[in-house]
Amino acid sequence: MASPADLPARIALMEAGLELVADRVGDITGPVVARLYRRCPAARASFVRLGLGRPDALAAQMVETTLHCLMSWPGDRAMVEITLRETLPHHCLTLGIAPAVFRALAEETAHLIIAAIPADCAAERAVWEDIRTGILGAIAEAERSPLIARAAVQAA
């Protein structure tokens, strides 16, 4: 974990990395959703089922929310952890979204960002690697929710 004094520099590196991605990839939504659908084909059916006739809009909203969590991680880790602990069980239990979809969406979003940052921008890549590791740890913690475990036992 970086010291509070390092936070402005880490946020600047995170933002610089995103600017590089924007220049190289443009809008990441389409590529992230395509990667998600390849990895978790059931995600498409979930977006169709829950998207109120607008599954593409729901998928885009999920990418936007994921990116927001990733970008918020360095400066407000506690808020992201609380958000994940609250929303992941709700989405799993109420909406039938598998925890693996959350993990895949975060992994695919972070992977696309990291892969699009040039190799000679090591500091930017390192910050995004740290963000990815942190978010995936928070998702793993949220997956261990007693609510999710109880639901899995009841479903079995």
On the question of pLDDT at 153 being above 70, the answer is no
CATH architecture for residues 4-155: Orthogonal Bundle (1.10)
pLDDT reported for residue 148: 75
CB 125 within 8 A of CB 114: yes
Sequence spans of domains, the chain: 4-155
Mean pLDDT of 65-73: 96
Q: What is the mean pLDDT of the chain?
A: 90
Q: Which two tokens stand for residue 19?
A: 């600017």
Structure tokens at 92: 């799993």
Q: Which pLDDT does position 151 carry in this prediction? A: 62
What pTM, to 2 d.p., does this model score? 0.89
What is residue 51's predicted lDDT score, i.e. its pLDDT?
A: 82
- For residue 38, pLDDT beyond 60: yes
Is pLDDT larger for residue 114 or for residue 55?
114
